Amino acid sequence: MKRTIPIIIAAVAGLVMVVAFFVPPLIDWRETAEEWFNILAAVAMILGGASILAMHLRRISDQKRGWGFSLVTLIAFAITLSVGLFKVGVPPMAEYPDRPWTGEYITHGAPLWWIFQYLIVPITATMFSLLAFFVASAAFRAFRAKNAEAVLLLGTAFIVLLGRSYAGTLLTGWVPESYAALTLPGMTDTIMGVFNTAGQRAIMIGIALGIASTSLKILLGIDRSYLGNRH
Amino acid sequence: MVKRWKSVTAAGGRGRLTGGRGEPAMGSWGTPGLVAWVQGFPVVGQLVLLVVLGVMAQPLWGAPASPRGLRARDVRNDAGRALTLDWQLSPDDDVRLDPPRVAGYRLYRAEVTPEERPRFERIRDEQDLPPQVDEVVDEGLTPHQPYLYRLVAVDAEGRESAAAELDQPVRPEVWYFDRNKRWFLAITLLISAGILFFIRQARRGVELKIRKIAGLEAVDEAVGRATEMGRSMLFVPGIQDMNNIQTVAGITVLARIGRLTAEYDARIEVPTSRSLVMTTARETLESSYLAAGRPDAYHEDMSYYITDEQFGYVAYLTGYMVREKPAACFFLGAFFAESLILAETGNSIGAIQIAGTAEPAQLPFFVAACDYTLIGEEFFAASAYLSGEPEQLGTLKGQDVGKLLGGLLIAVGCLLFTYAHGADSPAAQRAVNYLRFQVLGTEDIPEEILEPGE
């Protein structure tokens, strides 16, 4: 029963999604199924919060290496949660001045807004900006000309990098208009529009077929490994 | 460009100008003194005078000229919730006029019921319908309910023109099947039938040849390596929730890896960015350990929640990799900007890395930084491949039907397009459009490329 009910739910929800795609009046059903998922995900957030607490409390109590970071995490978690949940510092709505909790929780200037604006956004931006260094290191490794394919890749990347920058126009700007396809931007357009697009589409067709196959396996209950192995 | 107006159950009536009930007056110009003065002229002179005075006085009245030709039509292939309205712009809605005479349009709607007279309510104003806009889709309607519409132009002072309105009510109709998706349905059914056929063949014991996928062959090697080195393994199921098929595909692979981990007595950690994925991963790992005969070795902390925040999750994962130095990293799921950060960090610590995603933009990053990458369909094939169950392998073989069909359509499309381009044949061009928009797409053929009369 523990396995049958989830399989039935998955099959019914999946079938509703598929049928609603073709039958417009069933769109409401699809939206209802999506709302149910959102409700489930929201309830699961409680489990997520409990998981965070349990994990970090255990680290602190066991005095594991780096337990100080767990302490910082828990303090930040508690502050953000309480500030957001209790709408600390949020003024009430103009229509209900005597009801303190009626304001938007992320009101401009409120503590939660401040945490978001001045802590989360910069920290996130910092993580994202690291990507530039990783791109450089990955490109250095990928473009090493160790065999014929790597040389081809290097040459193509070189053309596209130059063609996508102003250097491409500058270097091949002297080429007559009738030979525009031989300029760096022209070659870049050909590489991206023909070879790259063809490759991308081949991958997309494979992905679409893979999704169809996986969906069918789940709808028919053939693949139950997401519920654990059957044996 | 010729627009096609498909008939709807209640025909969209041609618009007409009205100056009747409930509408703003065009300005009072019939004072008794003026009438007496006009009556002093001969009849022809009176008419000429009226026209001249009318033209001269129009700017003084203020209200712009009315829009014309208001039409309504049902939105095709919907659940009967929308109507499309269009009209001819007010003659005063001219971009060359400075200052502009029209600030926009106001649209009024009334439900038609047998019990009471239609009561018009404003549903769009000049902010929604600025100058030069001549079409709007009214959504959120009740199926089969008749509606009347009234449209006025409005100037900057808020003075409304005379109204253009429909002759007859129009009602949104329910389409019980989206006809633009008929080819999509046919192709889906064909591919599904192919998959089901090969599942049946597999069940009958027919041997199916499946090519080797290096990335999946390496799973055993990765788990074995982690066991030998006495280090943990990191499994990342992407940053999407369980409603994403890639996450489901990743979790199905986790089932196999979890079982191997239990058999080899290795350690695995599955940090997640979604709570629901965490609970699913726990269930999956528990079942895997049970299937391996090691339920005692399983504990809940193998899978835990970090944060929904994309880069917060990345910060934890990269920190974990640098601190714990896992021997193997699996990145199987939906990945976006974080793919390269994760894969490069894993590469820097010397972990054996296997990645798989259906995000084409992220594949090059994984290819550059990982030892093995499951590209597109290989990722979705992983579960069936690793399970080795005949009926699951049958689904892989069934996908070949789709590939065959895709190849055929590509060949036909290329030949047809080449012929249409070279021979300048309208019939071939129509066939290309049909293939492009109806067979391969799910939209109506755009009106811009329809020939007159089509």
Q: Is the pLDDT confidence value at B282 over 70?
A: yes
Distance of alpha carbon B151 from alpha carbon B71, whole angstroms: 10
Q: Name the pLDDT band for B20 (thresholds 50, 70, 90).
A: very low
* Token pair in block for residue A75: 């303090």
Which residue among A49, A127, A223 sits closest to B311, beta carbon to beta carbon?
A127
Is residue A166 located within the same domain as residue A73? no
Q: Name the pLDDT band for B10 (thresholds 50, 70, 90).
A: very low
Q: Is the pLDDT confidence value at B144 over 60?
A: yes
- A138-147, A221-230, B138-147, B270-279: the lowest-pLDDT one: A221-230
Written as one letter, the residue type at B400 is D
Residue A228: per-residue pLDDT: 57
Q: Is the pLDDT confidence value at B302 over 80?
A: yes
Which residue is associated with the tokens 């005075």?
A: B53
Choosing from A132, A156, A179, the residue where a domain stops is A132
Which chain B residues contact residue A130 at CB under 8 A?
341
Chain A interface test: which of B299, B380, B399, B404 (most A C-beta within 10 Å): B380
Which residue among B175, B195, B344 sits closest to A24, beta carbon to beta carbon?
B175
Residue A101: per-residue pLDDT: 84
Is residue A143 located within the same domain as residue A208? yes
Based on the structure, what is the number of domains in chain A?
2
Inter-residue contact B385 to B208 (CB < 8 Å): no
B44 vs B100, more confident? B100
- Give the tens place of pLDDT for each residue, B81-97: 999 999 999 999 998 88
Is residue A124 located within the same domain as residue A17? yes
Mean pLDDT across the stretch B49-74?
Answer: 76
Q: Which domain holds residue A183?
A: 136-227
Written as one letter, the residue type at A50 is A
Q: Name the pLDDT band for B307 (thresholds 50, 70, 90).
A: very high
ipTM for the predicted complex comes to 0.90
Q: Name the pLDDT band for B168 (thresholds 50, 70, 90).
A: very high
Distance of alpha carbon B4 from alpha carbon B438, whole angstroms: 17
Residue B317: per-residue pLDDT: 97
- Give the tens place of pLDDT for each residue, B429-447: 889 988 988 888 877 777 7
Is residue A57 located within the same domain as residue A118? yes
DSSP assigned state of B202: H
Q: Of the spans B30-44, B346-360, B391-405, which averages the highest pLDDT?
A: B346-360
Contact A205 B310 (CB under 8 A): no
Is residue A79 located within the same domain as residue A122? yes
Choosing from A77, A106, A132, the residue where a domain stops is A132
Omega into B99 within 30° of 0, i.e. cis? yes
Q: Is the pLDDT confidence value at B309 over 50?
A: yes
* Token pair in block for residue A97: 């001045």
Residue B13: per-residue pLDDT: 37
Contact A22 B185 (CB under 8 A): yes
* Cβ pairs A/B, distance under 8 A: 209
Q: Name the pLDDT band for B39 (thresholds 50, 70, 90).
A: low
Is residue A70 located within the same domain as residue A184? no
Domains and CATH numbers, chain B: 1-21+62-176 (2.60.40.10), 208-388 (3.40.50)
Å from A46 to nearest chain B CA? Answer: 8
Q: Name the pLDDT band for B450 (thresholds 50, 70, 90).
A: low
Mean pLDDT across the stretch B355-383?
Answer: 93
Which residue among B178, B259, B305 sits closest to A229, beta carbon to beta carbon?
B259
Calculate what percentage of chain B has a pLDDT beyond 70: 86
Is residue A148 located within the same domain as residue A96? no
Choosing from A72, A99, A132, the residue where a domain stops is A132
Is residue A159 located within the same domain as residue A48? no
Is residue A106 located within the same domain as residue A174? no
Q: Could you report the average pLDDT of every consecutive run of 10 residues in chain A (231 residues)? A: 82 92 93 92 92 94 92 96 92 88 88 95 95 92 85 92 93 92 95 94 93 89 70 45
Calculate what percentage of chain B has a pLDDT beyond 90: 67
Q: Does A85 touch chain B (CB under 8 A)?
A: no
